Structure 1
């Protein structure tokens, strides 16, 4: 009886621990409304799970394939076989196309779990005596029982294995006007090229206008149609203003100045 009760109690604890969804609780990023505005209304999207041993490399591959990262979840919690299903639940709520999953061991800890089991106590008593009636005296012997009920609480040690969890949520972007992702330069990079202008090409989307014009990851974009580049947001606005047109992009590659005529894609609605 105690063994069955213990197993049942541990099962209940497991179920209770699994109720919270850390992937939604610790999510940070775009809301569903912002995602719909960015890429269009997300209806009937069934996300796919991608397991990654190198999240950075996988993220670069997705960016080059035209996907955009819209949010992430990261937290530490008990190891759970339900981790993937909970991450997928959060991905569905966002309308994500892909969720990149990664986990690693975070050690273990011993916790004290109180287990309450039923307890009963029975006492026995006997008696003897004489009973008087119209026929005379009769000797009587007998016994009785009395049972009391209660509970017993036992403290049971349990080892909980913990893990670090990560999930990145990605959506397929609309066709990009240039198809590049810029990074601002560090002070060391500015010093190396001798100017405060310039942006680093971090990603080139495969098949995009920039890709077709042979702009490479690692190039420095120095100017767009003669306008010096200073920050990624301004460069993106400048490229968007030239959507559907040919833009002259000045590049610095391995110390050499290069000019590229890039036929930009039309702006997406």
Structure 2
């Protein structure tokens, strides 16, 4: 089982276009159809050549998640609700291997801001549900939950859009899929697939919006489940502390350093 780490050194990429294994009801051909419109030898080879599938899980530990700032057009701290999966990672319980879930409690902010068992369901309006990634990201990781069948449709039921101003949105391009989700505990099945999206270029973005259905989904049944969104760097690693100094802060830091240098020169000259 691979763990995402610095420089992606432990990536377990799928290298056989005819790999017969099945993950959450999907195989290499499923992704060939989703990404390239057909399942044939050429498109399956494209999946391999573009390093789209990783037979491992995304280890989110130590990385900062994006912040849910808008939920279905409203304030996530006061509107909506969250659902939660019963099977707990690392715990031997009666729900091992189950997609069982409970609903509904709290507000959307509780369910959409952490990589855990809690999730939210978005609507299908682009820009209605938005995460602030906290920095200019090159990619974004999307953490999903499966709550029922049919598979693989329920494992790929959302589309992501990216923006720098929350007005102009670009359809995201999938750049990597971790087939074992986001838990190392392989008895947990509901974590589905974790996938990284980008613009398809080196351009960066600050915000990510998610809708149910759309061109990035296998199914459009109106009940996607999203745990969290996380900004990533170009090497598929996250932002370690999630903080980037604002321009005003940088200016103050610069002024402080200049002042310190001036005082040192004054002392040396006296």
TM class, shorter-length: under 0.3
Q: TM-score, normalised by structure 2?
A: 0.20
Higher RCO (CA-CA < 8 Å; seq separation 6+): 2
**Structure with the higher helix share, 1 or 2:** 1
- In our comparison, the structure showing a higher alpha carbon Rg is 1
**Structure with the higher strand share, 1 or 2:** 1
